[in-house]
Structure 1
Amino acid sequence: MAQENSSIIIELVLLGFSNHPQAEIPLFLLFSGVYLVNLFGNTAIIILVVIDPCLQTPMYFFLCHLAFLNIFYTTAVVPKMLFNLLAPKKIISYELCLAQTYISLLMGAAECIILAIMALDRYVAICYPLRYLLIMNWSVCMRLAVGAWSISFFASVVPLYFTILPLCSPYIVDHIFCEAPVLLHMFCADTSLQETLMVIGASGTLLLPFLLITISYLRILVAVMKMHSAEGRKKIFSVCSSHLTVVTIYYGTGMFMYMRPKSLYSAEGDKLISLFYAVINPALNPLIYSLRNKEVTGALKRVLGRLRKNPRLSEFEKLRL
């Protein structure tokens, strides 16, 4: 049960998968593995980009931002979900619930905008190759990154902060973590304003970036159709396929979750959708980018090759001589 002290909510019940107690231990093992893959894969992407000069380009600069938000997002959600899978008392503090809600909104909006920037980067690289480094210089990349995080914060977190309403008892969250669509069903007062703001925010952080991605890839498609070299077309497809795969998976689930009316809410269905874009998709991203990207696999081979040679030992031996 949730606890109250002078009308202040202290705890909420986070149901998670408690309706399927026989599946909780297998799910704990599964999601623990997925979480470790997410941490290892996204951390490896960041390390590769930092230490390999060949990957220090605008595309991989933004891929590092994507990897960082994948780690941060899942770390805000998964550990508590794993703990509750084994705990007899499945609760979450009110403060952590709000924190998860704000973080999920911020990270979701930031991922949409960063994916759009990455599409724009691919468009410039393919359609204006000779001017690419001039257009996408480091100053521009830094401004785009700061702009992406700032817009995400002011378009998602700030509106919710100023329109948050009291929650009605019983304080039961029938979900795997706290996020905005779930809290809408727990507010005591009319939520028309909050629903409208969520749709407006989703339009700005989901639809507009998606429109930019669509336009960018349409322009890329036109450029590819004009090419006479089959090898050139194959190379462009290789460069863009990873990004397109991530965009398709993320936007398909994100739009359904945040851009539908409240009446279409389904607790069990939404748990599966949230699992996919908040837990599974962040673990898939580094696999998609590494398995389908020759530059990343090449960088990984170079780094592993240097580790096999044990450069630290070599330097130590030189000092001894």
Structure 2
Amino acid sequence: MKSVMRNHSTIRTFIILGLTSDPQLEILVFIFLFITYTFSVIENLTIISLILLDSHLKTAMYFFLQNFSSLEISLTTACVPAYLYIIASGNKVITIKACFIQVFFVILFGATEFYLLTVMSYDRCVAICKPLHYVTIMNSRVCRNLILCCWTSGLLIILPPLSLSLNLEFCDSVIDHFFCDASPILKNSCTDTWFIEQLAILCAVFTLIVTLMCVVLSYIYIIRMVLSFPSSQQRKKAFSTCSSHMIVVSLSYGSCIFMYINPSAKDELAINKAVSLLIVSGAPLLNPFIYTLRNKQVKQSFHDMLKRFLSKKY
């Protein structure tokens, strides 16, 4: 049976349906995505530049923030420009190879972000619970190794299900999404994908549960330590250093968990599209604001850089 399907399978490309089939609505979607993508790249590049140029931001916290901004740019770039091209050109066809490449990078960047958020929570835990030993514990070598572990973990999570998916034969070519996502690709397969689907779910749940448990554990230690501070001013200052990270963690985990708690099968596709749009377009735009608006050092660094730039110009 497999050989018959292999001989008769002529599908070499997929068709991306996108967010809407209405031409006028597509124009609005294009404008919205173009603006959000442009600003998210500018914002995250600004944070990366500030941390690179300002000597006051050479701590572990900002090193991780710099890497987080790089991941945000990578994630949104893996999805949005391709869909903008589809809308602008009207060509919704994508090769199977290109589709799998996009899936690989989207899941790699997404999974790595969750591991990085876990590392960032550990960094805040060390900063608050062991402030005198913070510089020693979170030295540059440890920080580099932690970043390497994040990327390695993200890669190891994606490789098993993706490597099995490369041998699939396809009987349908329609992907009802605005980028190549694993679920609609598996639905197009002629062969039985039950094992691959279960393996993908297992890897995703493992990543979410393990990282979330580590984040929660870090914040339990942080809260216990902060509550033991005698001064309310000290407690407020300690919580403020974690507030930005807590907001980003809540948005990231909340959106992913929401995808798995759909009200009905009928609404599943629309919800997945909406949450995916939030993850790949909304979050990279919002996260730089969340970190900078609540961080005096980053804001001060930005003002100083702006002053230097303007003084050179005039």
The 5 Å alignment of 1:234-253 reads 234-253=236-255
C-alpha spacing 1:55/1:189, structure 2 compared with 1 (3 Å) = same
* Deviation for aligned residue 1:164: 3.5
For 1:124, the aligned partner's letter is: V
Please, which of 7, 30, 33 is the counterpart of residue 31 of structure 1? 33
- Residue 155 of structure 1 corresponds to which residue in structure 2? 157
Equivalent residue in structure 2 for 1:229, among 231, 235, 250: 231
2:188 aligned counterpart, secondary structure: coil
Offset, 1:167: 4.4
Displacement of 1:96? 1.8
User: Are positions 1:22 and 2:31 aligned together?
Assistant: no
Q: Which moved more, 1:158-167 or 1:76-85?
A: 158-167
CA distance in 1, matches of 2:233, 2:195: 53
Tell me if structure 2 keeps the 8 A contact 1:165–1:187.
Answer: no
* 1:135 aligned onto 2:137: yes
The CA distance in 2 between the partners of 1:35 and 1:13, in whole Å, is 23
Give the 5 Å matches for 1:79-94.
Answer: 79-94=81-96
Match of residue 279 from structure 2: 277
Letter of the 2:230 partner, please give it.
H
Tell me how far apart the structure 2 counterparts of residues 150 and 89 of structure 1 sit (CA, whole Å): 35
Structure-2 separation of matches of 1:243 and 1:157: 29
Q: What is residue 303 of structure 1 aligned with on the other side?
A: 305
Q: CA deviation at 1:7?
A: 4.1
CA contact (8 A) 1:199 1:259 kept: no
SS at match of 1:228: coil
User: Hey, what's the Cα distance between the residues in 2 that align with 1:8 and 1:219?
Assistant: 57
Return 5+ residue gaps in structure 2 as ranges: 1-6
**Distance between the aligned counterparts of 1:293 and 1:149, measured in 2?**
26
In the alignment, which residue of structure 2 is the partner of 1:317? none
Residue 192, structure 1, aligned to residue 189, structure 2: no
Q: For the residues of structure 2 that align with 1:163 and 1:24, how far apart are their CA atoms?
A: 31
User: Given that residues 116 and 212 in structure 1 are in contact (C-alpha distance below 8 angstroms), is that contact kept between their aligned partners in structure 2?
Assistant: yes
TM-score (norm 2): 0.91
Q: Distance in 2 between matches of 1:221 and 1:130?
A: 18
Distance change in 2, residues 1:66/1:264 (3 Å): farther
Deviation of 1:111 (Å) = 0.2
* CA contact 1:199–1:258 (8 Å) conserved in 2: no
Query: What is the CA distance between 1:306 and its match in structure 2?
Result: 1.9
The residue that corresponds to 2:182 in the other structure is 180
Residue 290 of structure 2: aligned partner: 288
Q: What is aligned with 1:316?
A: none
Q: Is 1:219 aligned to residue 221 of structure 2?
A: yes
Residues of 2 paired with 1:144 and 1:264: CA distance? 41
Q: Which residue matches 1:113?
A: 115
How far, CA to CA, are the matches of 1:36 and 1:61 in structure 2?
Answer: 23
Of 121-130 and 195-204, deviating more is 195-204
Quote how far apart the aligned CAs of 1:27 are. Answer: 1.0
Secondary structure at 1:189 match in 2: coil
- Aligned with 1:65 (options 64, 67, 73): 67
CA contact (8 A) 2:11 2:172 kept: no
- Residue number in structure 2 paired with 1:55: 57
Q: Residue by residue, what CA displacement relative to the aligned partner does 1:215-274 show, whole Å, maximum 9, x if unpaired? A: 1111111111111212112211221111111111111112344698x9687222211111
Q: Secondary structure at the match of 2:14?
A: strand
Residue aligning to 1:166: 168
TM-score (norm 1): 0.89
Number of equivalences? 308
Structure 1: distance between partners of 2:20 and 2:91: 10
Structure 1 gaps, min length 5: 314-321
Kept in 2, the 8 Å contact 1:76–1:100? The answer is yes
Aligned AA for 2:103?
A: T
2:80 corresponds to:
78
What residue identity is the alignment partner of 2:118?
Answer: A
SS at match of 1:169: coil
CA deviations 1:50-101 (Å, max 9, x no partner) are 0001111111111111111111111111111112223333222222211111
Please give the secondary structure, in 1, of the residue aligned with 2:191: coil
The separation in 2 between residues aligned to 1:163 and 1:77, in whole angstroms, is: 20
Root mean square deviation of aligned Cα: 2.3
